[in-house]
Structure 1
């Protein structure tokens, strides 16, 4: 009787590496991410978290190793091609069209997903279905009343919500959040966390989250991956990883036996 091969993960990095001169910023990191899971990626400043994200999403080209999306090697593809294949990325700094309206930012993402564009026969404004989709997404992120406002005029927290809306419009299978609560006020943080929780609850997405706030990680993560000096040094269920003395002392910046920093 032949054994059935295990299904390939939605996303995988194999020995992923990047060097800047003599410095190895990400050092042979191998990791698998399954459908329906949220993985938090933690580590001290300079650990290589964002660099690893940039390698996965294509902003940086790897020195060695591979990135596989649903079993297909995408290492040689740029960010736009990876996005078309189902990889979405929200940045630590907002990545929007600042002079376009809130609705236009989302509508453009809907149009890009469907491969549409204006033609000599039909203007994009005739595509009321794109506009309706954009409006539905804006309702989900509590920005429906801001549709006509230029993105640049939004407060920082609302810009982060808009960036999530743009990513939702692309309907990616893999969602990557790089410190989504960075720079937000205490009142703004729960709205974005609720958005991420609802995306997770759909059960069909693979979510990666770089985050420093341990209370955020506890509330959202199914799994924690720890990087240090560009290497993967811990990987497991949140309670076990957080309780690990080596992680607490060396990577989360607290003494063994004390409570991890919630800031």
Structure 2
């Protein structure tokens, strides 16, 4: 469904992503790992359209979408959750999700559209808020939520758009031990559907080991390993050079 061919970006003389070619199939959760500065988030930005590539292509269903903007790629089915939450802070939790539901159904982004005849959209909004355990906080402003609840709300927005490709960039970063399992359970449920591409940038190797069907390792912008989790984690070169001492100890 999703493929990158020779995807590259340069910032001056620095090559941040270096000719990365990779294909991702529906029903598979791929973890993209590597040390800080390896190019993981930049690779995500190239796929989702936040950055223009210096070279290479992004293909969705064999169609080249490299020239499309980030919103155009979203409409084609690419969904992205960021390291830093991307919400409407001055709107309520419910209004945030309502807008995403409305946008997916072709209702635009007009918050004041009359919803009396759209009980199905309202019910979908309620179901999503219940799924991410935010229904009790539906009237709170998004800006007033804890960091963990903001991450859950962002996942709800992503689910409301119902993309064919889910991209999660460190979804549990900054979350407490009590909050993180909710987001991980949501990702598990999406994976269980077996009809979506799921990409996950994550530093926590216990999470990667549990969720991933496949691990792709980047180092200095280049793809250096790609395969089943057990084989990649056991690789000496990956343990020593790319995942760090802590991951080596965990894998032992």
Write out per-residue CA displacement over residues 102-132 of structure 1, whole angstroms, 9 at most, x where no aligned residue. Answer: 111111001111111489xx62454222221
Specify which structure has the higher proportion of helix: 2
Tell me the equivalent position of 1:171.
162
Write out per-residue CA displacement over residues 42-98 of structure 1, whole angstroms, 9 at most, x where no aligned residue. Answer: 000000000000000000000000000111110000110000001100000000000
Tell me the equivalent position of 2:49.
58
Tell me the equivalent position of 1:159.
150
SS at match of 1:259: helix
Unaligned runs of 5+ in 1: 1-9
Name the CA shift for 1:83/1:245 in 2 (closer, same or farther; >3 Å).
Answer: same
- Is the Cα contact below 8 Å between 1:117 and 1:124 reproduced in 2? no
TM-score (norm 2): 0.95
**CA distance in structure 1 between the aligned counterparts of 2:239 and 2:228, rounded to whole angstroms:** 15
Tell me the equivalent position of 1:3.
none
The 5 A counterparts of 1:83-122 are 83-117=74-108
Tell me the equivalent position of 1:247.
238
- Is the Cα contact below 8 Å between 2:16 and 2:39 reproduced in 1? yes
SS at match of 2:244: coil
Unaligned runs of 5+ in 2: none
Structure number, greater radius of gyration: 1
Tell me the CA shift for residue 258 of structure 1.
Answer: 3.9
- Is the Cα contact below 8 Å between 1:41 and 1:208 reproduced in 2? yes
Determine if the alignment matches structure 1 residue 186 to structure 2 residue 177.
yes
